[in-house]
Amino acid sequence: MIPVHAGVGKNLKNAVEGNTMKIVIPGFSFNSISGGIKKNGKKDMGLLYSEVPAVVAGVFTQNWVKAAPVFLTHQNIQKGYIQAVLVNSGCANACTGKKGIDDAKRLSAETARILKISPDLIAVSSTGVIGEFLPVNKMSTQLPGLCHDLGEEKVEDFAQAIMTTDTVTKIAFRKKIIAGKKILIGGVAKGAGMINPLLATMLVFIVTNAAVLPRTLQSLLDEGVMRSLNQITIDGDTSTNDTVLLLANGRAENPPFSKKTAEKTGFKAMLFEVLAELAQKIVQDGEGATKVIEIKVKKAKSTEEAETIARSIAHSPLVKTAFYGEEVNWGRIIAAAGKTIFPLAFEKVDLFIEKIPLVKKGVNVAPHNEKQAQAILTKRNFTVTLVLNQGKREASILTTDLSPDYVTINAGYKS
């Protein structure tokens, strides 16, 4: 398995100035505006536009309760092309019945009319409070300004408009010359809480000027998401609105990438790096998080076993609060590992914080290493490794601690 942080930080000097990512992907433009959804008047509507219909791939929430925009966008991408993505924050338009669907269709149709494209080429996405209706009349009056003032350089504005409890924008960018063509990939994400992708109020939009075969694009996105966004968790909750869209407009005029050429030329690696970086940025910005922890499970009988046990540890409130309190309470980790459907032979188990052993073959050695382990727990980032010694498979999950600030943020989220 590729670690979720694989490639993170690579080539960032190409595009980073402070906390602002400067990216331009030929043929794509962006904008944002205040549509009157958020009470504080901040930007809450964003638009991503391609000057030509782009080949599209999508991955959506596996929650049985899905928001109206998820249904509509999933339907529209079946034809294989999307030209614009209308996103709002502050209201999830989830659990809103027929009215929610009608509202999403109305906004989609009005956007398409202004842009002079087919409504079938519009994807819609929402994030925010569940169970409330969109203020469609207010939003409609802002659509002309949103559509007419698009700019290639307005990625940061778009990223700000889709934030909810996020404290920073999340943008990633890669570029490479492939067969004489400059290939660029840029991605924008939002998400800080309700993150346990089964794919979480997590939204991710990735664009590239490359030409990619439609089946290849979906295959690459499926695999890339499984290796990155599906290997993170903040609080174990999966949202009603998760959406990841990948648009390829072909402006690079390269021979369309197949699965084979995407891997051979490095396009696949570029895409996976963007996904991995966005995944890590989501965890780094976890609601109330003071620490980011990678949970590794090694020498399991199967990858499923390793991932299930790693996720069980990562989700445990007792483990996460111990991390926040910087407590070397390894018993909580073992207990969380032992509560899954997969049998765990404790007498075989090794447990480490970084390279410091806490348990060796089921024997407590933590007292001998307490000070070293304690010092590691004070750091912002560290790794916990559980070695089952039962097989040859492994998996890792990136997670956060659980702080009082997480409770405060979510106790007052709606207000």
- Among residues 73, 127, 165, 201, which one is catalytic? 201
Query: Who contacts 392 (Cβ-Cβ below 8 Å, separation ≥6)?
Result: 299
Asked if the domains at 12-284 and 292-411 fall in one CATH topology, the answer is: no
The pLDDT, as a whole number, for residue 199 is 46
Residue 201 is among the residues annotated as catalytic for this protein: yes
Tens of pLDDT, residue by residue over 208-242, are: 999 999 999 999 999 999 989 888 887 776 778 88
| pLDDT score recorded for residue 8 | 32
- 129-167 pLDDT, tens per residue? 899 999 999 999 999 999 999 999 999 999 999 988 888
State what percent of residues in the chain have pLDDT above 90.
75
Among the listed residues 176, 177, 245, 165, the one whose alpha carbon sits nearest the alpha carbon of residue 201: 165
Strand pairing of 181-190 and 170-178? Answer: antiparallel
Which pTM value belongs to this model?
A: 0.86
Alpha helices in 149-237 (DSSP H): 155-161, 214-227
List own/partner pairs for 350-358 with CB under 8 A and 24 or more apart.
350/385, 350/386, 350/387, 350/389, 351/384, 351/385, 351/386, 351/387, 352/384, 352/385, 352/387, 353/328, 353/377, 353/382, 353/383, 353/384, 354/382, 354/383, 358/328, 358/330
pLDDT per position as a tens digit, 53-108: 999 999 998 888 899 999 999 999 999 999 999 999 999 999 999 999 999 999 99
Among 141, 158, 159, 161, smallest CA distance to 150 is for 158
- Tell me how far apart the alpha carbons of residues 394 and 415 are, in angstroms, rounded to a whole number: 42
Q: How many CB atoms lie within 10 A of CB 347?
A: 8
Mean pLDDT of the chain: 89
Q: How far apart are CA 44 and CA 34, in angstroms?
A: 5
Residue 249's pLDDT band, with cuts at 50, 70 and 90, is very high
Query: How crowded is residue 110: how many other Cβ atoms within 10 Å of its Cβ?
Result: 19
Q: DSSP letter string over 4-63?
A: TTTTTTTTGGGTEETTEE----TTEEEEEE--S-STT----EEEEEEEEEEEEEEEE---
The angle that helices 330-337 and 317-325 make with each other, rounded to 10 degrees, is 160
Give the CA distances from residue 363 to residues 134, 330, 349, 360, 367, in Å, rounded to whole numbers and listed in that order: 57, 12, 8, 5, 11
Compute the chain's Rg from CA coordinates.
22
pLDDT band at 338 (very low <50, low <70, confident <90, very high): very high
Q: Domain ranges for the chain, please list them.
A: 12-284, 292-411
Q: What mean pLDDT is predicted for residues 324-341?
A: 94
Tokens of 71: 């249904």
Structure tokens at 404: 């009082």
Percentage of the chain beyond pLDDT 70 is: 91
CATH code of domain 12-284 = 3.60.70.12
Please provide the size of the chain in residues: 415
Q: Of the candidates 60, 55, 66, which has an alpha carbon nearest to the alpha carbon of residue 93?
A: 66
Q: CA-to-CA distance for 296 and 37, rounded, in angstroms?
A: 41
β partners of residue 29:
49
Instruction: Write out the two tokens for 112.
Output: 């398409």
Q: Tell the CATH superfamily of the 292-411 domain.
A: ArgJ beta chain, C-terminal domain (3.10.20.340)
Q: Which helix (H) or strand (E) holds 285?
A: none
pLDDT given for residue 307 in this prediction: 95
Q: Tell me the angle at which helices 136-148 and 97-115 cross, rounded to the nearest 10 degrees.
A: 20
| 43's tokens | 């930007």
The reported pLDDT for the residue numbered 200 is 42
